[in-house]
Structure 1
Amino acid sequence: MGSARAGAGWTKAALGRYGEDLAAAHLERTGLRILARNWRCPEGEIDILARWGGTLIVVEVKTRSGQRFGTPLEAVGPMKVRRLRRLSRRWRAQARDAPPRTRIDVVGVLVRRDGRAYLRHDRGVA
């Protein structure tokens, strides 16, 4: 996963950025075009907005250094999905040439103490 090494000494913010960087690189490798990262409005933030043909892909990235509180993907529940839908409507309202369809994906990144990172991409969770 590159030369960057994650470890126990990372801050939560640095770990999150690392996971988002890994997720963005993965999405680009799979053919998605990144439209925006960390898009914010008063109601919240979308980690990654991407496009696949005629579909807007709203991506929530969850990065964890362990599974003490569950897997990264388990951290995205129904309330978060509703918020992502609402935020995607806000983004569409201000975007030029927004794709007609929307899909919500979750990318979970688990970074071990030795720096190895494991990524799981669940497509179309909502």
Structure 2
Amino acid sequence: MVAGVRQARGAEARKLGRRAEVLAALWLMAKGYRILGFRLATPLGEIDLLAQRGKVMAVVEVKQRTTIEDALDAVTPTQRDRLHRAAAHLGAHRAGLRDLIVRLDLIALAPGRAPRHLPNAWPDGFMTGGPA
């Protein structure tokens, strides 16, 4: 009984996560980004969205919570490290991405609010290729 409830909750969370990623991708496209991939699995971690605008490759983490503030606070240092490693792996292993500036972005979503896009969300963290 408990396992069934847990499975249903997990399935609903995955469905909401996919919807949030689609909304985030649409938001980025409206801002002039080209979406290169959804839920990209690398040996070092998964990337929610990979987007490009000009010479910038944005590795985008998408978080949906009850408030924008909670979404912004939801990315832990461990998750940021995982994103750094996954981004470095992609940049090193995909020829078409090697010359791009790699940046970690966050899109925070909350019900009834416009998405909030934070380019280079962790400036003390990781960016390759110079300033964006």
Q: Distance in 1 between matches of 2:52 and 2:15?
A: 26
Matched residue, 2:94: 95
Aligned to 1:97, the other structure's residue is in SS state helix
Aligned to 1:72, the other structure's residue is in SS state helix
Q: Does 1:39 align with 2:40?
A: yes
Matched residue, 2:116: 120
Of the two, which has the highest radius of gyration? 2
Query: 1:119 corresponds to which letter in structure 2?
Result: P
Matched residue, 1:75: 74
What per-residue deviation string (whole Å, max 9, x for no partner) do you get for residues 12-71 of structure 1?
A: 11111111110000000000111111000232100001111111111000112x24xx61
More relative contact order in 1 or in 2 (CA 8 Å, sep 6+)? 1
Runs of 4+ in 1 over 4 A off after TM superposition: none
- Residues 91 and 102 in structure 2, CA contact (< 8 A), matched pair in contact too: no
Specify which structure has the higher proportion of helix.
Answer: 2
Shift in Å, 1:100: 2.6
Moved more, 41-50 or 10-19: 10-19
Which sections of structure 2, spanning at least 5 residues, go unmatched? Answer: 1-10, 123-132
CA RMSD of aligned residues (A): 1.7
Aligned to 2:115, the other structure's residue is in SS state strand
